[in-house]
Structure 1
């Protein structure tokens, strides 16, 4: 018994090595993740059936008290075949379910029956029966991706016991059956159950490896997608394509990367750039198919790549369509020197990158659309001219024509400057601070002429201002708010200070008045916007629009700050950065 147990463990060690190699095949993944189909069930039944046949051939035969160690090709009528085929059948059932287990059992069982010997019928029946029962057991543990080794050890005890029972029932007329069963029973139970437990442990290791690879691929895809964002936001397709291709080539260590937009290759980075060049048109059927189907395609042969150069070193590729707004807009192609370099982790990474970049493109498109809508709304608000202000100013000019023609002429010029500035707002998001100051000066001169006896407006600014940018018509509404609301009840000695101060990193701008100040409700509405009525008051002052434009175009640090002064009156201040980005400068007017 001891010798038989050792021999069985030796033979099963060889089978486990073969099984380990099987776990490394790409098709084995469909079993691990239970991606069943009729075709794959047939394929796996055939594979595990062959594995069962190999287990039988590498088994042993028992002739009386003699153990024949040679490969089993045929058995005499007085010989019994002792094999490990049940291990393969149990694994087939546990992984593939009843259909795969039963199919593999029929193949392995038919082979054992053809070999003959004592117990040929029992050997033939036990294989499909074991596969069916193992498959049903797997369904019972369907919530587990792979049965644990301890459970597999327990399950592995029953197939050899069932085998022994069938031998005793079907071949009871043979007097040697009881002796043989007594001799081989315990070694078969031990070897089979331990081998099945070891195999399930191997599968668990493979699963963890795949999960680690998938996690690594996902992490890498997320990191690359994050780094790709600045390039994806680029409005110039050529620069975007070159940036994306260079990033992917450096991060993924590929043979080459190309980016195609529409039907034209805009960038190719890596080997074979002497004939894979930007400006080439898509000519391969697999690339056009990827665009049409919106699905990732893999070219495993040079004939699928269809390169015009016969000795091109690029022999395989992954073609990833980038879909924005449900339409394929461009392709990313990963090139490899050999098809063997395309591992499952590369495929997972490519698929994940394609999905992430597609979602980013959708998000960027939505952000741009939202930005354009918001910009249009803000510019529309900026371009609005208060008709009462215009009529009152025209009335002032008409009254000054007789009394002070020079003054009337000056106010007319300032009104023209003021209106011209407002009409140009619809095409500009930012203006130079110097231009904004000219606009404020025009408004102050007009208001000062109208309310000369009621208030004084002092505009303090440096002689030379840094070349910084500000949303147009930002300071003027603050001055207007002080005139219309701050000094609303002031009939004389009203004062408004408009001050611009240059600090180390920012420009401080504030407007102060000595009027009635902000009410508590107003300050609360500005800070918390707690009620519709308070919010309506906030909007009526025009400050909400100014604050929105500052935050939207210059950031949260540029938002308005409000407070009441201790000596009476109020103050509104904000800061703008001295150093602006290239994007802000490009949007500004000169």
Structure 2
């Protein structure tokens, strides 16, 4: 008996190996975590645990109770032979993890196989295997609220199922004296070995789950730490100032040799190995990076694809991940390694997660910027409503006309009231029609034309079909005001503004042209792209107009500014319809 116990305990090594392999299957993990499984997954689990039971049969020990002899591996059975095996372990674990249906299903597969092998205990062992699955399913129901079955439960159920099998052998298998000799010989060894085997199987499963949860927890903590460290920089948007500290943080916290961040055109920051020649401000040129920017998908780059011009550069591989805002790729995040061995599945998944994390932070920066711009627009719009210079000039002009041209004064008062009414509406509305926006502009220009007498003329070229299109309020008027105050200010005569609105198939094009002094080339590069402060400006500014258009309609609606000194300026943009 003791020899048999030692032999069966040796066979538990096979059980341990198979158990570990089984934890690699996705649907087995779902079973372990007690998730809802599809019928297809349940059938797969039944088949796998049924095969596990068959393996337990084949790795058993052939026993002849009459001769008290053992044979180590099973091929077939004689009439008076039986098997000391670990078949019940797979069936019991199936029932404990998946319930009685899974347990009985696995038991039917393993039990039928045992019955077909023959021997005087064939039917009794096959039947007891099915019953073992049902017993385990009962304990599954009793422990349904527990995430993982305890080792004590697995040990008890494994031993109980084997004890039931011994009882069924005594009740069914004939001749009885052979059954009695068999149970006396293999009963205790099988009860002990299979109970321990079921407990070891559950122990392996529990350890795998705990280790993965521990690793997941570590990765989550690392991600949260990186999010906390980089948030204050990336909430300011993607720029050189935010990219450099972000790269430094990632280099310090991760096992990488270098980190780089680019936008769509150039390298914003590079820290780590090779920073002496991978300098910022260089244009993005490598095919791997351009592919990420165009396709928006992660790319693994070899040394050749890194395309470093320095022959002695030690960087051998890189992971290039996209940075996105609203599914639009705006840059890349690069992790460099001195060896391709650094490109493990874990590092690749971590790179994907970090690029997504940083992308979310950049999206938050856009939200913050949007809110700030909206706030600034509202404040400046309110300031424009009560601009003392414009108000006093307009009132002075009207006072002067009251005596000389009362009808003209009345008309200007109506225009002034319409102008301020539209300003007030523009602080709350998100969109208005081009027709209303044009009325606002005409009210403003009528006052300005009266002030400047014959100095200023206004020309309109309007497509009536375009006037129903929607546009952010207070978009045209600040552009026109900018042209008068900065473009036409120094002209003594023959100054004019041309306002064109035309409609194409899917867009409306708006164009404002003046024949003023124009914009200097160095200033033209930043007008509309940066917030340029001016002492004379009272509108919300070309920069904010440009940002509002981009946020509402995309970069296709950005302001296009063309200007030549002493010839004039043309500002145009399109809006979708």
User: Normalising by structure 2, what TM-score?
Assistant: 0.53
Say which SS state the counterpart of residue 68 (structure 1) adopts: strand
1:149 paired with 2:154, answer no
The answer to whether the Cα contact below 8 Å between 1:263 and 1:281 also exists between their aligned partners in 2 is no
Partner residue, 1:76: 78
1:371 paired with 2:372, answer yes
Query: Measured at CA, do residues 233 and 53 of structure 1 come closer, stay the same or move farther in structure 2, by a change above 3 Å?
Result: same
After TM superposition, the structure 1 = structure 2 runs for residues 355-434 of structure 1, keeping only pairs within 5 Å, are 356-380=357-381, 384-385=386-387
Determine the C-alpha separation between the residues in 2 that align with 1:340 and 1:25: 26
Determine the C-alpha separation between the residues in 2 that align with 1:108 and 1:205: 27
Partner residue, 1:10: 10
1:279 paired with 2:261, answer no
Q: Which whole-Å deviations, capped at 9, do the CAs of 1:202-245 have from their partners, x for residues lacking one? A: 32222222222111111100111222224424545566556655
Determine the C-alpha separation between the residues in 2 that align with 1:340 and 1:115: 51
The answer to whether the Cα contact below 8 Å between 1:218 and 1:349 also exists between their aligned partners in 2 is no
The answer to whether the Cα contact below 8 Å between 1:98 and 1:134 also exists between their aligned partners in 2 is yes
Query: Measured at CA, do residues 152 and 264 of structure 1 come closer, stay the same or move farther in structure 2, by a change above 3 Å?
Result: farther
Determine the C-alpha separation between the residues in 2 that align with 1:320 and 1:331: 6
Count of residues paired in the alignment? 382
Determine the C-alpha separation between the residues in 2 that align with 1:63 and 1:40: 40
Q: Offset of 1:68 from its aligned partner?
A: 1.4
The answer to whether the Cα contact below 8 Å between 1:291 and 1:331 also exists between their aligned partners in 2 is no
1:94 alignment partner, one of 93, 96, 103: 96
Determine the C-alpha separation between the residues in 2 that align with 1:259 and 1:306: 20
The answer to whether the Cα contact below 8 Å between 2:120 and 2:174 also exists between their aligned partners in 1 is no
Say which SS state the counterpart of residue 120 (structure 2) adopts: coil
User: Normalising by structure 1, what TM-score?
Assistant: 0.52
Say which SS state the counterpart of residue 63 (structure 2) adopts: strand
Structure 1: segments with no counterpart, 5+ residues: 395-590
Q: Offset of 1:328 from its aligned partner?
A: 5.8
Partner residue, 1:54: 55
Query: Measured at CA, do residues 371 and 153 of structure 1 come closer, stay the same or move farther in structure 2, by a change above 3 Å?
Result: same
After TM superposition, the structure 1 = structure 2 runs for residues 260-409 of structure 1, keeping only pairs within 5 Å, are 279-280=284-285, 291=296, 322=323, 324-325=325-326, 329=330, 332=333, 342=344, 346=347, 349-350=350-351, 352-354=353-355, 356-380=357-381, 384-385=386-387
Q: Which whole-Å deviations, capped at 9, do the CAs of 1:77-114 have from their partners, x for residues lacking one? A: 21101111211222233234455544543443344334
Determine the C-alpha separation between the residues in 1 that align with 2:40 and 2:318: 27
Query: Measured at CA, do residues 339 and 387 of structure 1 come closer, stay the same or move farther in structure 2, by a change above 3 Å?
Result: closer
Determine the C-alpha separation between the residues in 2 that align with 1:206 and 1:287: 36
The answer to whether the Cα contact below 8 Å between 1:218 and 1:352 also exists between their aligned partners in 2 is no
Relative to structure 2, which stretch is displaced further, 212-221 or 122-131? 122-131
Q: Offset of 1:48 from its aligned partner?
A: 3.3
Q: Once superposed, what is the RMSD of the aligned Cα atoms?
A: 4.7
Q: Offset of 1:147 from its aligned partner?
A: 0.7
Query: Measured at CA, do residues 132 and 225 of structure 1 come closer, stay the same or move farther in structure 2, by a change above 3 Å?
Result: same
Determine the C-alpha separation between the residues in 2 that align with 1:316 and 1:388: 59
The answer to whether the Cα contact below 8 Å between 2:104 and 2:131 also exists between their aligned partners in 1 is yes
Q: Which whole-Å deviations, capped at 9, do the CAs of 1:359-417 have from their partners, x for residues lacking one? A: 423322221112122223344455645699969xx9xxxxxxxxxxxxxxxxxxxxxxx
Determine the C-alpha separation between the residues in 2 that align with 1:231 and 1:211: 31
The answer to whether the Cα contact below 8 Å between 2:258 and 2:271 also exists between their aligned partners in 1 is yes
Determine the C-alpha separation between the residues in 2 that align with 1:115 and 1:360: 64
After TM superposition, the structure 1 = structure 2 runs for residues 514-525 of structure 1, keeping only pairs within 5 Å, are none
Partner residue, 2:182: 180
